[in-house]
Amino acid sequence: MTTAATTAPPTRLDEQLDRRERQFTETGAYAGLTDRLDLKEQEPILFEKVFSRLRGGLVTARETALNISASPIVKELGELCFAVYTPEGDSVALSTGVIVHVHTMSDAIKYMIREGYEDDPGINPGDVFCNNDSLIGDVHNADVQTIVPIHVDGRLVGWVAGVTHVIEIGASTPGSLPLGPISRFEDGIDIPARKIGAEDKLFKDHVLAAARGTRLPKYWTLDERTRLAGCLLARQQVESLIDDVGVDTYLQFCAELIEDGRRSFRSSLFAMTVPGRYRAPAFSEMTLGSESLMPEHARVDTMMHAPVEVRVTPDARLELDLEGASAWGYHSANCTTAAMQGGLWVLLTQTLLANDKINDGAYYTISTNFPPGSWSNHQNPQASTGSPWRFLVPSFTGVLKSLSQSLNARGFVEEVLAPYAMSANTFQGGGIDHHGQQAAITNFSISCVGGGARMFTDGLDYAAAMWNPQGDMGDCEVWEINEPFLYLGASVKPSTAGPGRFRGGSGWESLRLCWGTEFFETQNIGNSRITMQSGLWGGYPGATGYRHNVRATNMFELAGGLLPYPVRDGNPEESQIDALVEGDSEFDQRTLTMPNQMRSGDLYLSPMRGGSGVGDPIERDPAAVAADVAGGYLIPRLAESVYGVVVGEDGAADLAATERRRAELRRDRELAARPFLRWFEDERGRIAAHAEDGGERFHPAVQRMYAESMRLSPSWAEEYRDFWHLDADFLYDAATPTVEISERMLRGRDPEELQRQPRTEVESPLPERRPTGAEQAINRQTLAALLDGELPDGQVRQIQSGYKDGDRFDTYLAIVQARWPFPEDRVLLPFGLHLCIVELPSGERVIKSDSGHVFGDYRKNWKRGAMVRVRRDEEAMLEVFPDKMHPDPEWNEIREYYDPVDFTLLDVESVPPGYPAVHDFLPELEVFYRDWLGREL
């Protein structure tokens, strides 16, 4: 039965919302549409027409509204998006633009419904609502939402909402990503889902009040007009659509479209992934421990733990679980569930869901666990969420890495991506600008960083960022309108990219000269202690960063004498700034600071990070390494120490010397590595000593991170103790004040309610397996050429952009099997670059490398059968990363897992000391073969 069409809906919104949630819980389908989608199947053309008009209306509204904005990040960087929602607040369709907010606005609408806004303050035709409260449904205060209801003949039939990222939000520190607030009360303008207008006009008191709350009222005001104009235009389009098709058809269409979105996402998972469990923990840092401008309780170094576990369920749904996440803190990087959903949405729309038909259907295919009290779901009305991207960006590297593992196993090698880079160092500040005006800036050239390496080619250099695939660094001349700083240069930053057989995308840097102001504060916002991401299959993570600012310089003396001044810093080991300019230099790895005053003539360096690599660096084409040195992508010293490539005086790789050097490197690895179990025992002892007096202690931030995770999550604590064979009462002895606050605050609350996601226990039947049409098939030769990097770029892009072929797994498996050096083995599942799950002649199913080493049963962590080397001192770090761009070994060690036969590097873990070895991929092999492929294993 298709309940959406046949039962009369309740007239009250809160009842409608309850009904929708109940329908989903009880049937597992949106709006209870478990069966045929009548409109879609009986009138496929009409269905499509309605869709294209709805979406067209949103795109038009956005394009028109864009022109009203004054904000460069809205106008030039597209930080504007509109969406249409059902009466219950589920998104139906959305415009182009930054689409992270599609679900956040859904949460805001549902909040208004649940809180009874229908009665008070009333939801009437022409009303305008605004929200920027992240606990209600937002990422952070800077993302401001305008929401208007759509009524037909007095009946509410939906909502249109629009969001912009406002450039200045009136927080305790200037800019839109404030890193200074330590509580909610410093996050700036706060509008917790309020009615701000009626009869399509804004209330004057709201307009005046908001303008008084920011350092840059003009931007706020124009952005608000932008959103309102777009919402009204989009509403008009929906109204005219309803005029043409009728309310009932329209509402049925909305429900079917969302259910169709849910089914499509399941079909994508079913077609492109492998059921199983994926783990890729990620970390982030908040280093305010030496920041004298902070109150004492916030003057702490924090390490964030994102124990990302992704599960693809046997019935083709996606689960994201952050059980074990560390606690919220007195800083501005805390997240709400809405922010987490936003991050997930951004990531999926760049990978599995890159199309224009996405809507909340995907949301209903995903189950999440964001543990209450953790940084990912802080639940504390007093916690600051001014700059959650600082945690979101790192943590979602784990999701990307997990998806890549799955895409490779399934043969979709063209979609594999290693983790991307962090947007840092962000240039942000405020003061009196060169026009003599009060000003605040956030430089959004941070939307271009290095992407992760691909499976057959290097990562995309200096382009997109995780939070905006359509990244752009803008024009120097346009930034110089708003910023009292002159560009002295913008250039490729060497050795930012994570090394690998294919390296990550490179980062870049800009050097700025403070100019035309006597008072402007800037802050440094970046990472330096930890790498944020790990690489993929032996690739290293991208480098960390540093700050290099110089105050009271002799810049103008240099210029007056026409003497060289710096235009970049380049390789920090041979810093150009250091070489050419004198002054009070801040040249260190303290990359997070509160705003500090700068004056004309001072220098500020903004280095952007690079993405992580794929595969063992000593398998990289020597010519590519030589080209990287020549092109300034790699500092020469690291060509030998990481890649084992000897570059001759002519700049070309010396192949004979390279071969010798690489053989040496393999021997060095052999000497430096230990069998897993020996490493495990030593490490275990080190950890156990924490519980004893006089034992060596990890860095306080690391201890606190573990203590928080273990106190917040008994199950994670148990797993931790189990892994290291620790006593049942083992705990890190660190104060965790925010955990205690959460415990008190959350006591007695319904855990499900704290997750705020409708759930269902109903298992849906698997999507249909579909044969590949002749038009979409990719034959073995083509796929092999793709894998070997021999396919022309244009053809690769065609494959990436086209529909995915249903036979891919078998095509890929045949290639892998044919290349497998042991014909007696039956390859069951590709596992990485050198690893496969194979069935041995004995019938055992094991993980085995192409060197012939058997790592053990495929259900166990293969790393137990590997040789391990841990880089935990500066000297070892400097073999991989440049000085001032390497992780701090007290915070972050680099673990390398080698093949015991030929010492090929199989995996790099970038984790804090004491972290369990990550079991990255546990496939449900039998389910996959039997239920997904339709044949026995």
Partner 1 sequence: MPRVIAYDAGGTMTDSFLVDETGSFVVGKAQTTPEDESRGLLSSTEDALSQWDVTAETAFPSIVSGVFSGTAMLNRLLERKGLAIGCIVSGGLEDYLRLERGLQTWLGMTYADRLHVTTHFHNEPLVPRERMKGVRGRLDLFGNEAIPLYEDEVRAAATELLDDGVEGIVVCLLQSFANDAHERRVGEIVAELQAERGTSVPVFLSSRLYPLRGDFPRLNSTLIEAYAAEPSRHQLGKLDRAMNEAGAGFDLRVMAAHGGTISIDSSELARTLVSGPIGGVVGARYLADALGLERAVCSDIGGTSFDLALVNEGELSIRQTPDIGRFLLNLPMVEIESIGAGTGSYVRIDPTSNRPEIGPDSAGARIGTAWPEGGVETVSVTDLNLVLGRLNSEYFLGGAVTLDMERARDAVKRQVADPLGLGVEEAACGIVDLFEEQLRYAALARVLGKGYSAVDYTLFCYGGGGPLHVGGYTRGAGYADVIVPTWAAGFSAFGCACADFSYRFDQTHSLTIKPGHESEVEGKLRAAWSVLAERGVEAFVRGGIPPEQVSLKRMVRMQYAGQLNDIEVAANEDRPDDVGSLIDRFEQLYAKIYAAGASSPELGYAITSVAVVASAPVEKPVLPVEALTDAPPEPKAARPVWWSESAGPLETPVFEQDDVRAGQSIVGPAIVEAPSTTLAVPPGRTAELDKHRIFHLHDAAKD
Binding residues for partner 1 restricted to 338-367, rule: CB under 8 A: 349-351, 354-357
Task: Figure out which of the listed residues 516, 675, 700, 900 binds partner 1, where binding follows CB under 8 A.
Answer: 516
Window contacting partner 1 (CB under 8 A); options: 181-189, 385-393, 556-564, 757-765: 556-564
Q: Name the H helices within 713-777.
A: 714-724, 737-746, 751-755
Nearer of residues 11 and 438 to partner 1, judged by Cβ: 438
Window contacting partner 1 (CB under 8 A); options: 257-265, 366-374, 390-398, 821-829: 257-265
**811 binds partner 1, rule: CB under 8 A:** no
Nearer of residues 162 and 916 to partner 1, judged by Cβ: 162
Cα–Cα distance, 817 to 929 (Å, whole number): 17
- Cβ of residue 301: shortest distance to partner 1, in angstroms? 32
Site string for partner 1, 98-117 (x = CB under 8 A): -x------------------
Q: Evaluate whether 858 touches 276 at the Cβ level (below 8 Å).
A: no
Of 72, 90, 79, the residue nearest 142 (C-alpha): 79
606 CB-side CA count, 13 A: 29
| Interface of this chain with partner 1, residues 8 to 67, rule: CB under 8 A | 40-41, 44-45, 47-49, 52-53, 56-57, 59-61, 63-64, 66-67
Nearer of residues 429 and 484 to partner 1, judged by Cβ: 484
How many residues sit close enough to partner 1 to count as binding (CB under 8 A)?
Answer: 109
Residues 6+ positions from 651 with CB-CB distance below 8 Å: 626, 629, 630
Structure tokens at 410: 């399934």
Task: Figure out which of the listed residues 448, 624, 638, 837 binds partner 1, where binding follows CB under 8 A.
Answer: 448
**124 binds partner 1, rule: CB under 8 A:** no
- Cis? peptide before 494, omega within 30° of 0: no
Nearer of residues 18 and 807 to partner 1, judged by Cβ: 807
Q: What does residue 279 show for φ and ψ, rounded to 5 degrees?
A: -130, 135
**145 binds partner 1, rule: CB under 8 A:** no
Nearer of residues 136 and 232 to partner 1, judged by Cβ: 232
Nearer of residues 630 and 818 to partner 1, judged by Cβ: 630
Nearer of residues 178 and 471 to partner 1, judged by Cβ: 471
CA 911 to centroid of chain Cα atoms: 17
**199 binds partner 1, rule: CB under 8 A:** no
Q: Name the H helices within 697-792.
A: 700-712, 714-724, 737-746, 751-755, 780-787
Nearer of residues 417 and 550 to partner 1, judged by Cβ: 417
Of 199, 193, 353, the residue nearest 264 (C-alpha): 353
**508 binds partner 1, rule: CB under 8 A:** yes
Cα–Cα distance, 735 to 711 (Å, whole number): 11
Q: Evaluate whether 891 touches 702 at the Cβ level (below 8 Å).
A: yes
Structure tokens at 225: 């007009």
Task: Figure out which of the listed residues 103, 110, 263, 848 binds partner 1, where binding follows CB under 8 A.
Answer: 263
**542 binds partner 1, rule: CB under 8 A:** no
- Cβ of residue 264: shortest distance to partner 1, in angstroms? 4
Cα–Cα distance, 580 to 567 (Å, whole number): 10
**487 binds partner 1, rule: CB under 8 A:** yes
Cα–Cα distance, 461 to 456 (Å, whole number): 15
> What does the angle CA 578 – CA 583 – CA 584 come to, to the nearest 5 degrees?
100
Site string for partner 1, 611-640 (x = CB under 8 A): --------------------x---------
**206 binds partner 1, rule: CB under 8 A:** no
Nearer of residues 4 and 511 to partner 1, judged by Cβ: 511
- Cβ of residue 827: shortest distance to partner 1, in angstroms? 25
**472 binds partner 1, rule: CB under 8 A:** yes
Task: Figure out which of the listed residues 187, 285, 321, 414 binds partner 1, where binding follows CB under 8 A.
Answer: 414
868 forms beta bridges with: 674, 897
The CA distances from residue 125 to 13, 158, 242, 669, 804, in Å, are 15, 11, 16, 70, 44
**82 binds partner 1, rule: CB under 8 A:** no
Q: Evaluate whether 836 touches 828 at the Cβ level (below 8 Å).
A: yes
- Cβ of residue 437: shortest distance to partner 1, in angstroms? 10
Nearer of residues 67 and 842 to partner 1, judged by Cβ: 67
Cα–Cα distance, 782 to 77 (Å, whole number): 37
**609 binds partner 1, rule: CB under 8 A:** no
**91 binds partner 1, rule: CB under 8 A:** no
Window contacting partner 1 (CB under 8 A); options: 22-30, 216-224, 531-539, 677-685: 216-224
Strands 276-279 and 201-202, bridge-based pairing: unpaired
DSSP three-state, residue 228 = helix
Nearer of residues 226 and 589 to partner 1, judged by Cβ: 226
Amino acid sitting at position 696: E
CA 188 to centroid of chain Cα atoms: 25
Cα–Cα distance, 837 to 854 (Å, whole number): 10
Nearer of residues 354 and 623 to partner 1, judged by Cβ: 354
